[in-house]
A = this chain, B = another copy of it.
Amino acid sequence: MDFEKLSAYKKLQELAKNPPDLTKNSVFNIDRIKNFVAKSKDYTLFYAGERVNEDIIKTLFELAKEASALEKMQNMQNGEIVNFIRGFPSENRAALHTATRDFFSGDKKSKTANEAKALAYAEYEKLKRFLAEIETFDRFQDLIMIGIGGSDLGPYANFLALAHLIKKGRRAFFINNIDPDNLHRVIESANLDKTLVAVVSKSGNTLETMTNEAFLRDCFVKAGLDPRKHFVAVTGEGSPMDDKSLYLDTFYIWDWIGGRFSSTSMVGGVLLGFAFGMEIFTEFLKGASEMDHAALNPNLSENIPLLGALLSIWNRNFLHYETLAVIPYSQALSRFPAHFQQLSMESNGKHIDKEGKRTPFQTGMIIWGEPGTNAQHSFFQLLHQGVDPIPIEFIGFIESQSRFDFIFNGTTSQEKLLSNLLAQSISLATGKKSDNPNKEFDGNRPSHILMAEQLTPKTLGELLAYFEHKTAFEGFIWNINSFDQEGVQLGKVVAEKIIDQFASERKKEFNEGYGVAKAYLELFKKV
């Protein structure tokens, strides 16, 4: 059923004409704050700051039911084909990333899901053995991870989130960009002799990753080292990279794991296992798996991924806001917005539905953000006094990770951090009148707060899965395919043509070239 034809859609359009006015004390009050709360596992979602009321929430939930959102989530976790466009050639795959961490409950699953889980678990066990072996000989101190996009952003964000737990003497470096300065800076720092290299590409033919692998192998050879004793592969079974003669070991993923959903597979596992050990990686998987279960909960107040998706849809399709700022009040989550940016925008930045029809409604929003309180001293001016409201997702924790703190002027830094988070959410909602127009705040700027006790490996896993499922629920309700990325193909094809032109030039061969690109290249020579 088309999103815009759902009967709840019409009702929501009506309700959007008169959303609650949060600048009124009679609206944004203590009762409201107590009532607009939901909880899944270790996270509580406070959404009094959104421009919703009980009627709106009820109708949003109707929308989810009409769109069969929960059934679709169940189907996804059962390994049904969810990645398709009906009537057109498309990937026709499952999206079974939940199987890569479904190691903790005895739940009955579909045969497909059980098979996927068994495959994933075998890799998990392989990693455990591999890490134990290199540990015994203290073979490696540094890890260089080569990967880009889904094979970089999630793993890196998760690594930073737990960096205080790194095993003594170990370090991690990241080569993602084709920019040769990226690789250069890394090899200036790493100790190649004691370096493990993880090359991560599901397809085994990603331009950046293949190039950086060849480049780095050359550096090893020039340093008198044998790459086969340092490089491991993380790739799809049967991909061009699946050649055991070239690697110390090989870890598999499969076509039912999308890059941006691969953080809990071996794509994230080799890095996190090496840096923190298998116990911490396992806790992380456990957290993700618990949130997978929460995403199946039919009670909206216990299913925050679904609620989060519905709040996004309210802001996007009914209040017509184009972006969502994700602001973690935790420096450890500094790269989490970049991971979620990919997850959401690559999944839902689509303009056709699953029937191949143009969507007459808005889909995926622009996701952006930086940690608080830093962001308060950066772009919050615009959030408070810019022309248009910008929805915000705040993330916070009651305790710091280190519990290393200091009382200054009567409070700890952690208390000051939490106070600021709250103050922003409240003042964006309430605004403030003033005789000086430059000190006037309109208010009614929507936000919600996702809060847990502490950022640990387990709550990090929950947070990751929260965002994965929120993204999937949005796609289910819009009836779009969140699991392919055809939009990145055209740029690749054109880039290949220009690369060919460079190659011809180097060989002094004639190349007709790609007209406009050739013109640019001529002009570049005069820069």
Contacts and interface: CB of A to CB of B under 8 A. Distances in A.
Contacts of A153: 374, 378
B33 A410 contact: no
Interface string A33-69: 1100100000010101000000000000000000000
B179 A519 contact: no
Nearest to A396: B524
Given A149-B377, A382-B346, A352 B437 contact: yes
Interface residues of A, number: 159
A379 interface: yes
Contacts of A489: 439
A403 to B, nearest CB: 8
Give how many copies assemble into the complex: 2
A179 B149 contact: no
Given A181-B164, A423-B494, A520-B33, A486 B408 contact: no
A484 interface: yes
A499 B366 contact: no
Contacts of A488: 376-377, 380-381, 384
B524 A349 contact: no
A28 B427 contact: no
Interface in A494-527: 494-495, 497-499, 501-503, 506-507, 514-521, 523-524, 526-527
Nearest to A429: B516
Contact of A85 (B351, B367, B438, B523): B438
A89 interface: yes
Given A349-B386, A427-B491, A408 B374 contact: no
A371 B503 contact: no
Contact of A490 (B163, B323, B427): B427
Residue among A48, A179, A373, A518 with the most chain B CB within 10 A? Answer: A179
Contact of A385 (B29, B349, B357): B349
Contacts of A338: 370, 378
B487 A520 contact: no
A221 to B, nearest CB: 12
A517 B207 contact: no
Interface in A96-115: none
A423 B44 contact: no
A368 B176 CA distance: 20
Given A358-B437, A426-B494, A495-B423, A345 B382 contact: yes
